[in-house]
Structure 1
Amino acid sequence: MKTIDFAVIGGSYAGLSAALQLARARRNVLVVDAGQRRNRFVDAAGETSHGFLTQDGRPPAEIAADAREQLMNYPNVEWMHGTAEDARVAADGRLEFRVGTEAISAHRLILATGVRDELPPVPGLTERWGRSIFHCPYCHGYEMNAGRIGIIAASPLALHHALMLPDWGSPTLFLNDAYTPSEEDLAAIARRGTQVEPVLISRIDGHADVVLQDGRTITLNGLFTQPRTLMSSPVAEQLGCALEEGPMGLFIKVDEGKATSVPNVFACGDAARAAGNVTLAVADGAMAGFGAHRASMV
């Protein structure tokens, strides 16, 4: 069994940030990553990342690759490609898991396992995810060029999109039988100038053309929707970490220092917050790295 001081499961923005703090504290760090960043669909579409200081407009893959290269300049960091499985707390308190056929034992563990998006079942939506259909107005709203924006309702969170997106363009909320606004909701939506379309969506065509079941086609600059988030890894549950139910799905419960309910296990990034983006993931990772290092001094 391979024994390490600190293991970080997940090598995207939060995991890279956590590992960097530990590397600079001159601690031995193992990063395990399967190469499945949540925003990889943006790369595939040729889109870029936005709103991250000094990195605005860069492809997400380039940001992650630069971060990994800088991290691997530290001789006390090891990278292992693969998926962490069969995690457990051993009798002596160490955190054990397996990557392929190799068993790993860590004194302290940081979970940066991320989430995956469960998209609403609208024909044509999945193919345009990260290309012309998004979930975060702060990340992609500006690129709508103050034009016509669609909101595909998938949950009551559609109300928040309906109220936010007028700052980025002229929105239409497609209820699509997924969300029924109250009279109070409708009044708030009207005050913000968002249009409401009750006719069901047949499919998405072209760049962001919404074809309705009554035959109309509404051409838009882009679309937003509210995916349900699912844990990308079962490791947190296998270890017994407490989870919380957020508006988008379950996430790992942590304190201000990113410690979970399991001793010596920390969590950060999208898997440990109700909602997030690259900037917040990097900040979370730094806090988890600090927290894990400080815990090692006790």
Structure 2
Amino acid sequence: MESNQYEVIIIGGSYSGLAAAMALGRSLRKVLVIDAGKPCNRQTPHSHNFLTQDGKTPLEISSLAKQQVEAYETVSFLSDYVLSAKKSEQGFQIKTQEGDTFESLKLIFATGIRDILPDIPGLQECWGISVIHCPYCHGYEVRNEKTGILANGDFAFEFGKMITNWTKELTLYTNGKSTLTPEQTEKLISKNVPISEKKISRIIHQDGKIKTLVFQDGSRENITALYAKPDFEQSTPILSELGCALKENGYLEVDQLQRTSFPGVFACGDNINMFRSVAFAVSSGSMAGAACNKDLIDESF
């Protein structure tokens, strides 16, 4: 096999990509992991709810993971950004930002998603630190603290119900006119969850830790944490260019073995499911690597 030809190319080298690479390395497959070094959780100070790694920084976990994967001599790494992927006679052809071209029989996309955050000054700096998305990942650390939810409609109601498990000092900020039903509004208020329709003009913070919400009417409220579920998009257009199907919610459509709708293309991690956690990413990556190896075996037998 030529130096630029691989059995599997993994695009994305964070948790799910590294887990897939480990499974394939242990399966003696020639693998190339291409990663641009910008993981979705790069601002998050600590990772939680992942056995043996609870409380470690994301960089600690990924650095150790990469070190362990590098022990498998058939796995190579490239720091670059993939610009295109197209079907070729033998499988797929990849082109990178640095002008390199690689061939592979299979592709695994561990590319995550790109968050589209509300245009509120200060929110970007707090994202992943005190503006958080998941109570299972972050809720324990802000338990019983004065907390907000930035959401509206049915999601706000369901999320509001959930977060009352972690704190009783909770306010729902709809950031404009509420779209909750009268029944939802009544239920939240009966559970001591006030609903504020005031528009947020900015967030005052210190090193990403929220201090104060400032509203357009000039009023202010001090809180410790703010849950939010921003819009998102797939972090690479290559998936759409290949024709990989998306679900209605914007995540990639995969089967139980992490196969996308395009033959030979697998996906794992944050790009397939709203449950954004290190534990889930590792699990889906391990499955993608094992399933990819099984397909290669079946095709060559």
Say which of 138, 148, 151 aligns to 1:150: 148
Instruction: Map Cα deviations across residues 58-85 of structure 1 (whole Å, 9 max, x no partner).
Output: 1111100000000001111100111112
Instruction: Map Cα deviations across residues 148-187 of structure 1 (whole Å, 9 max, x no partner).
Output: 1011226753223211111111210011127511112213
Aligned to 1:66: 64
Shift in CA distance, 235/132, structure 1 to aligned 2, threshold 3 Å: same
Q: Is the 1:158–1:179 Cα contact (8 Å) retained in structure 2?
A: no
* Equivalent residues, number: 290
Aligned alpha-carbon RMSD (Å): 1.6
User: Is there any run of 5+ residues in structure 2 with no aligned partner, and where?
Assistant: none
Aligned to 1:85: 83
Q: Is the 1:203–1:211 Cα contact (8 Å) retained in structure 2?
A: yes
Instruction: Map Cα deviations across residues 35-66 of structure 1 (whole Å, 9 max, x no partner).
Output: 01000011xxxx21111111111111110000
The amino acid of 2:104's aligned partner reads A
Aligned to 1:96: 93
Moved runs in structure 1, 4+ residues, more than 4 A?
none
Deviates more, 1:50-59 or 1:268-277: 268-277
The amino acid of 2:91's aligned partner reads R
- Percent identity between the aligned chains? 37
Aligned to 2:18: 16
Q: Is the 2:152–2:179 Cα contact (8 Å) retained in structure 1?
A: no
Structure 1 distance, partners of 2:153, 2:275, is: 15
1:272 aligned counterpart, secondary structure: coil
Shift in CA distance, 140/274, structure 1 to aligned 2, threshold 3 Å: closer
Aligned to 1:161: 159
Aligned to 2:28: 26
The amino acid of 1:196's aligned partner reads I
Structure 1 distance, partners of 2:153, 2:66, is: 36
Structure 2 distance, partners of 1:51, 1:191, is: 31
Structure 1 distance, partners of 2:122, 2:181, is: 29
Aligned to 2:256: 256
2:60 aligned counterpart, secondary structure: helix
Structure 2 distance, partners of 1:163, 1:49, is: 24
Aligned to 1:195: 194
Structure 1 distance, partners of 2:178, 2:124, is: 20
User: Is there any run of 5+ residues in structure 1 with no aligned partner, and where?
Assistant: none
TM-score by length of 2: 0.92
Aligned to 1:35: 37
Structure 2 distance, partners of 1:127, 1:178, is: 26
Shift in CA distance, 8/155, structure 1 to aligned 2, threshold 3 Å: farther
Say which of 109, 114, 125 aligns to 2:123: 125
